[in-house]
Amino acid sequence: MNVFITGGCGFIGSHLAERLLDRGDRVHLLDDLSTGSMQNIAHLVGRPGFGYRIGSALDVPLVTELVDSADVTVHLAAAVGVKLIVERPVHTIETNVRATEVVLGAAARKKKLVVVASTSEVYGKSTSIPFREDQDLQLGPTSHSRWAYACSKALDEWLALAYLREKGVPVIVTRFFNTVGPRQTGQYGMVLPNFAAQAVRHEPITVYGSGEQSRCFGHVCDAVEGLLRLMAIDAAVGEVFNIGATHEISIRALAEQVRTAADSRSDIVLLPYGEVYAAGFEDMMRRVPDVSKLQRVTGFRPQTSLEVIIRDVVEDQRTRLAAAAGSTHLASART
């Protein structure tokens, strides 16, 4: 199978590409490196069946060429991370909606399968826990850029399903819930890698808000497994699926577990949202997926324990710290 992945140099995309190559598929990636990194795919370069292009998912001729050459497109390219979303709402909306339109338009020419990656953010301020794919969405006011990402990804979903109904494009929509693991950075506000990076450096672990808000963290390997299974099942076409773990933990408790796993001397510090984001920033107290639909259709549900997830992220951050220290030492030696 030939698979085209937009945002392929990103965290999830690089893991997906690796799994596909391991099972003998051909993979071509596209990334503009705005949030992805060549480091994520360096170990894949040169492998049989692997190729990549540095460019934008907004480039219609380029995307059309790559979609045409693939059997399936996995559209992961998007503006990601709360920090980026709050600081650059125009970029968020334009990138998410327009890129999805470009991919779907290219797929419509030959009715190619497209998997559109969405997010748990689309559930917005809903308090109906656990979140089910068929429940109503509840977003905040347009005056708060916090909701621009959720709205843009919800529009991506509507657009994908509209292309299915009107133009016959086979689509699958996946809503990821706090997917974490090796290769993920905390640059744009991702909480677990940020905690792990602070812990391995014995710096204060900064928890935003009260720390009582809770989330469910799923391992990237489980997210990739869910994707692969959905891509292989005809019954998944035209459907929306939650992909995530269901073990819930408060952010304060997460910080404590990270500190323990890293054997860290870090203090845990609470920071009001107003000191980090714009005034009026809203957060959700709970976000828990119902993954029964994923399990019913594919026979799979994420199972990796939180302990293993934290261990993997801490080890990844230790590796990054050691690499940074080595680079600094080398640079000093040269001078």
C-alpha 130/C-alpha 128 separation (Å) is 6
Question: Which own/partner contact pairs does 192-197 have at CB distance under 8 Å and 24+ positions apart?
Answer: 192/217, 192/254, 192/258, 192/309, 192/310, 192/313, 193/313, 193/316, 193/317, 195/254, 195/255, 195/258, 196/258, 196/262, 196/310, 196/313, 196/314, 196/316, 196/317, 197/317, 197/320, 197/321
Catalytic option among 149, 163, 208, 277: 149
First and final C-alpha spacing in the chain? 50
Which residue is associated with the tokens 């939650």? 242
C-alpha 235/C-alpha 229 separation (Å) is 11
H or E segment to which residue 262 belongs:
none
Q: Is the dihedral of CA 68, 69, 71, 77 positive or negative?
A: negative
C-alpha 334/C-alpha 204 separation (Å) is 32
Nearest alpha carbon to residue 206 among 281, 283, 134, 275: 275
Active site residue 273: no
Burial status of residue 315 (CB atoms within 10 A of its CB: 0-12, 13-18, 19 or more): middle
b (16+ CB within 10 A) / e for 200-209: beeeebbbbb
Query: Quick count: other Cβ atoms within 10 Å of Cβ 175?
Result: 22
- Which sequence positions are flagged as catalytic? 149
